[in-house]
């Protein structure tokens, strides 16, 4: 399931950022997201989280959302994997 | 609008709030293609948004529905396309196409979440439940849109109609990923071609 979460998350980011899959395939754990990409404002992040809920079949609570979780691809992936393991 | 006095006339109810910006380019590109197919189209502003002279804070969902109905009569359109949240306001007496319909509560939830994120960045803690209660009691500003209490109350339970008579257009028909997901408004020639083709064929039938 971990590989699947990784792939699903990359696909979501490619849809949200308007990037080609090949570009998103190049993301690694330290690739910066919120605070690093100008197009990722709060509304875009809200959209990203909603897509993650739909496609990863998880529920994200208010308390889950913090800057650290959104800062890099690695931290967002770790969050998504932990949430999927819970559900 | 593209009004050449054609017989085939389509009203377009846009995606709502922030999504309207991201879907604007696609909407206009579809209108250009329809014009070349001999179909007039009219993209309205929801009351209280864009060029509307109304104040958004005073709008209710019924006001929006009435305004769309009035626009359909004014432009003489027998057909309507709803895009995303716009599908919540397509008049039932017109032939309807719904592209990727969105639910009211889902749209609200996302706007509330965006506000929580922005507030948190500014060092203020807010919660979804708390903001929703404020919204229902006195209205609320969400990502730059001031919404009245009546609007919030009605909008939070609005779901797109599921009548068999509605022509549903899913993203799988259009291809690619939905442009409303884009952080930065984008465009897609292929998606505009596909959506225009669905509508042009439908209106000629």
Instruction: Please report the pLDDT score of residue B96 as a whole number.
Output: 98
The model carries a pTM of 0.93
CA distance B126 to B131: 7
pLDDT in tens, B33-61: 999 999 999 999 999 999 898 999 999 99
Give the pLDDT band (50/70/90) at residue B30. very high
Please determine, for residue A87, whether its predicted confidence score (pLDDT) is greater than 80. Answer: no
Q: What is the pLDDT of residue A55?
A: 92
Measuring CA to CA, how many Å separate B196 from each of B102, B132, B146, B169, B200? 20, 38, 33, 11, 6
pLDDT of residue B164: 93
What are the sequence ranges of the domains in chain B?
Answer: 1-102+161-205, 104-159
Q: How large is the average pLDDT for residues B67-89? A: 97
Residues of chain B whose beta carbon is less than 8 angstroms from a beta carbon of chain A are: 18, 106, 109-111, 113-118, 120-121, 127-128, 143, 177-178, 180-184, 186
Cα–Cα distance for residue pair B127/B28, rounded to 1 Å:
37
- CATH classification number, B1-102+161-205, choose in 1.20.120.1810, 3.40.190.10, 3.30.230.80, 3.40.50.2300: 3.40.50.2300
Would you place residue B1 in the very low, low, confident or very high pLDDT band (cuts 50, 70, 90)?
Answer: confident
pLDDT at A29: 95
User: How big is the A-B interface in CB pairs under 8 Å?
Assistant: 62
Q: Are the C-beta atoms of residues B8 and B204 closer than 8 Å to each other?
A: yes
Quick check: B182 and A42 CB within 8 A? no
Residue B114 is nearest to which of A18, A46, A51, comparing CB atoms? Answer: A46
Average pLDDT over residues B119-144: 94
pLDDT at site B3? 86
Q: Over 80: is that where the pLDDT of B140 sits?
A: yes
């Amino acid at each position: 399931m971990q590989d699947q979460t990784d792939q699903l998350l990359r696909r979501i980011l490619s849809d949200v950022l308007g990037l080609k899959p090949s570009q998103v395939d190049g993301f690694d754990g330290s690739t910066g997201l919120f605070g690093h990409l100008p197009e990722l404002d709060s509304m875009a992040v809200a959209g990203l989280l909603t897509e993650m809920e739909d496609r990863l079949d998880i529920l994200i609570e208010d308390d889950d959302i913090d800057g650290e979780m959104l800062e890099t691809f690695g931290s967002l992936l770790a969050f998504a994997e932990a949430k999927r393991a819970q559900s | 609008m593209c009004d050449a006095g054609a017989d085939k006339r389509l009203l377009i109810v846009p995606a709502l709030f922030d999504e309207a910006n991201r879907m604007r380019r696609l909407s206009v590109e579809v209108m250009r293609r329809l014009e070349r197919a001999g179909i007039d189209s009219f993209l309205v502003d929801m009351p209280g948004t864009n060029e509307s002279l109304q104040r958004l804070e005073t709008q209710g969902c019924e006001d929006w529905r009435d305004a769309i109905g009035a626009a359909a009569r004014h432009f003489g359109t027998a057909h309507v396309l709803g895009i995303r949240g716009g599908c919540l306001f397509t008049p039932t007496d017109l032939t309807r196409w719904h592209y990727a319909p969105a639910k009211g509560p889902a749209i609200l939830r996302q706007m509330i979440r965006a506000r929580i994120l922005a507030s948190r960045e500014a060092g203020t803690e807010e919660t979804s439940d708390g903001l929703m209660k404020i919204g229902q009691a006195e209205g609320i500003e969400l990502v730059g849109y001031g919404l009245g209490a009546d609007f919030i109350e009605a909008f939070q339970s609005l779901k797109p109609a599921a009548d068999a008579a509605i022509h549903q257009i899913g993203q799988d028909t259009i291809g690619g990923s939905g442009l409303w997901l884009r952080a930065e408004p984008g465009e897609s020639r292929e998606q505009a071609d596909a959506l225009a083709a669905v509508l042009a064929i439908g209106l000629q039938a």
